[in-house]
């Protein structure tokens, strides 16, 4: 009967997964633990510091820093989704329950997808600031900024639901060894003992839509920005306009460049290991670098930091 078949299927289904991690060589585990612990601490300190700085200083309560605030929040959250588990796996048992794996997958997809659209919103903000400066405060009103962020999280949620929902329909009954350090879509699909055609279709549609909308929107924004900058008569004005966009261009290049390289590498047969190592950059390194990118050469952030330190120390 159908009920009997379902009972047999459930009894043979995987209840937990084993995460291989970056390396199975025991002599490298401590070195990797210390390396990623350092990256995690810097990520937490950098993003929490930037969030606190923006929150405490009214001079940073502008549309641009509202988006930076949300970017730091997302980087903070998605680092917390998998890094503590990754660190734990390097020094103890590297198992994760089925429910834990699906939860990790959902939140990872949610924050990664949301970050793509936050970067699009930031590009639009730079476009308005440079191409329509007189209408900037009207166009980028608190309501507009809030709607852009709400939309980013909603679309991110929809993408995460699509990935996780389609993953929940699969049965894992043979191998339970995930050749990765987190529960990612493609490594999980390799373990399924049922058809993954729907999942592959969902993956390519969701990823395709996210990448197409994000890259095209950002590209158009910067084409318009560049054409406007080239019309500025003074060299000082052009330099100031370029510096305004510089940090965002670097952040976009690092995030989308490393993400694209990871998925292109993973798409080749037998290249799971290369994709796994490549993914370290956009999952661990980029969230650590973003606070530095947006604050290192930023006079507003440096001034706000000095004021905050004076208030705390004096």
Q: How do residues 109-154 score in pLDDT, each as one tens digit?
A: 999 999 999 999 999 999 999 888 889 999 999 999 999 999 999 9
* Cα torsion angle, 259, 117, 127, 63, sign: negative
pLDDT tens, N- to C-terminus, the chain (314 residues): 434 433 444 445 788 899 988 877 777 888 999 999 999 999 999 999 999 999 998 888 999 999 999 999 999 998 999 999 999 988 887 899 999 999 999 999 999 999 999 999 999 999 999 888 889 999 999 999 999 999 999 999 999 999 999 999 988 887 888 888 889 898 899 888 888 899 999 999 998 899 899 999 999 999 999 888 888 787 777 777 777 788 888 888 888 888 777 777 665 555 556 677 778 888 898 999 998 888 876 788 888 888 888 887 76
Q: What is the C-alpha to C-alpha distance for residues 150 and 221, in angstroms, rounded to an integer?
A: 21
Pairing relationship of beta strands 95-97 and 16-19 according to DSSP bridges: antiparallel
Token pair 């002599």 in the structure block, residue: 27
Where residue 270 falls (left for φ over 0; alpha for ψ -120 to 50; beta otherwise) is left
DSSP bridge pairs for 95: 18
- Structural domains present in the chain: 14-313 (1.20.1070.10)
In this prediction, what percent of the chain has a pLDDT beyond 90? Answer: 45
Stated pTM of the model: 0.88
In this prediction, residue 136 carries a pLDDT of 92
* Cα torsion angle, 48, 54, 56, 57, sign: positive
Q: What is the C-alpha to C-alpha distance for residues 205 and 211, in angstroms, rounded to an integer?
A: 10
Phi and psi angles of residue 254, each rounded to the nearest 5 degrees, phi first = -65, -45
Q: What is the C-alpha to C-alpha distance for residues 226 and 32, in angstroms, rounded to an integer?
A: 42
Q: How do residues 259-270 score in pLDDT, each as one tens digit?
A: 777 777 665 555
């Amino acid at each position: 009967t159908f009920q009997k078949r379902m009972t047999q299927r459930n009894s043979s289904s995987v209840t937990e997964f084993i995460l291989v991690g970056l390396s199975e060589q025991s002599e490298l585990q401590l070195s990797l633990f210390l390396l990623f612990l350092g990256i995690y601490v810097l990520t937490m300190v950098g993003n929490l510091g930037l969030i606190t700085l923006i929150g405490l200083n009214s001079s940073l309560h502008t549309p641009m820093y509202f988006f930076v605030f949300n970017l730091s929040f997302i980087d903070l959250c998605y680092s917390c989704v998998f890094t503590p588990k990754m660190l734990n796996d390097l020094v103890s048992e590297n198992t994760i329950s089925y429910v834990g794996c699906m939860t990790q997958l959902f939140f990872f997809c949610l924050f990664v997808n949301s970050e793509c659209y936050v970067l699009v919103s930031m590009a639009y903000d730079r476009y308005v600031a440079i191409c329509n400066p007189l209408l900037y405060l009207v166009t980028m009103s608190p309501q507009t900024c809030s709607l852009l962020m709400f939309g980013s999280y909603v679309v991110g949620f929809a993408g995460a639901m699509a990935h996780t929902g389609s993953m929940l329909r699969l049965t894992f009954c043979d191998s339970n060894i995930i050749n990765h350090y987190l529960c990612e879509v493609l490594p999980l699909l390799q373990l399924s003992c049922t058809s993954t055609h729907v999942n592959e279709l969902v993956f390519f549609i969701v990823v395709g839509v996210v990448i197409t909308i994000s890259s095209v929107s950002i590209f158009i924004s910067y084409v318009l920005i560049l054409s406007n900058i080239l019309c500025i008569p003074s060299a000082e004005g052009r330099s100031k306009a370029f510096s305004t966009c510089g940090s965002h261009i670097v952040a976009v290049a690092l995030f989308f460049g490393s993400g694209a390289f990871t998925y292109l590498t993973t798409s080749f047969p037998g290249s799971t290991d290369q994709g796994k190592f490549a993914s370290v950059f956009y999952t661990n390194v980029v969230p650590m670098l973003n606070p530095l990118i947006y604050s290192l050469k930023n006079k507003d952030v440096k001034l706000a930091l000095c004021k905050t330190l004076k208030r705390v120390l004096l």
